[in-house]
Amino acid sequence: MDAVLSVLRYLFQHNEIKSFLSSPGRNSSINLATEYQVLARQKRLYDQIRFIGLDGTEEVRVNFNGGKPEVVAGSKLQNKHDRYYFEDALWLALGQIHASPLDLNIEQGNVDQPPKPVMLLTPREIAVMELIASGNHTKKIVAQLDIQDRTVDVHRFNIMHKVGVRTLAELLSLWTIARPTALP
């Protein structure tokens, strides 16, 4: 999770985003899209990288396309104003990062086929989930994260609730599908 947060902080402070925000236009949009395309090609972790404007409309989006990142044409950019993650992000202060529950990627109102899970848990939930998926029991998670037994139970419950599973086996199966196989 630290690697993902690091990339988000990098993108937030990058010159291309600053240029785009200070003088939006075709050239700054192309430069930002090119930067996202390079990141997608190098990291090979993100199915989509996008910048969404304050009205909810995608300003720039790059799709990974199975290892051949492609800039999405302006006519195919979508409005995400009604998606919960956009609405939640509007409440953030400058520099804050929002993490949402597990979701499936939705394009043009339809779930991508085959389904592409998008992992959107809090950093602490991901840390707990990583330890659960590694076979650690509550006592070891408590010791490693320096938290209480009850806190581990609450995180496990919240994760299962967010992703809509009832058993640990279902959760681990879903985690295997949704979790990136390699971090940068």
Choice between 135 and 11, residue whose per-residue pLDDT is larger: 135
**pTM to 2 decimal places:** 0.55
Question: For residues 171 and 78, what is the distance between their CA atoms, to the nearest angstrom?
Answer: 31
Residue 120 identity: L
pLDDT of residue 102: 53
Choice between 159 and 12, residue whose per-residue pLDDT is larger: 159
Whether 51 and 20 have beta carbons less than 8 Å apart is answered as yes
Compute the average pLDDT of residues 75-96.
82
Q: pLDDT tens for residues 33-72?
A: 999 898 888 877 778 888 888 889 999 999 988 889 999 9
Burial of 36: CB neighbours in 10 Å, binned 0-12, 13-18, 19+: buried
Whether 35 and 18 have beta carbons less than 8 Å apart is answered as no
| CA dist 132 → 111, 128, 183 (Å) | 28, 6, 18
pLDDT of residue 130: 86
Q: Can you list the domains of the chain with their CATH numbers? A: 2-98 (3.30.450.20), 99-184 (1.10.10.10)
Eight-state DSSP code of residue 55: T
Confidence of residue 180 (pLDDT cuts 50, 70, 90): very low
Residue environment code for 102-122, b if the CB has 16+ CB neighbours within 10 A, otherwise e:
bbeeeeeeeeeeeebbbbbbb
Instruction: Assign 61 to helix, strand or coil.
Output: strand
Strand partners for 111: 106
Whether 34 and 43 have beta carbons less than 8 Å apart is answered as no
pLDDT of residue 86: 82
Model confidence at 76: pLDDT above 70: yes
Mean pLDDT of the chain: 79
pLDDT of residue 178: 61
Model confidence at 2: pLDDT above 80: no
pLDDT of residue 18: 82
Among candidate residues 184, 162, 157, 155, the one with its CA nearest the CA of residue 117: 162
Question: For residues 38 and 41, what is the distance between their CA atoms, to the nearest angstrom?
Answer: 5
Whether 44 and 8 have beta carbons less than 8 Å apart is answered as no
Residue with tokens 């209480």: 148
Q: pLDDT tens for residues 93-140?
A: 777 776 665 555 666 666 655 555 555 577 788 888 889 989 999 999
Compute the average pLDDT of residues 144-170.
85
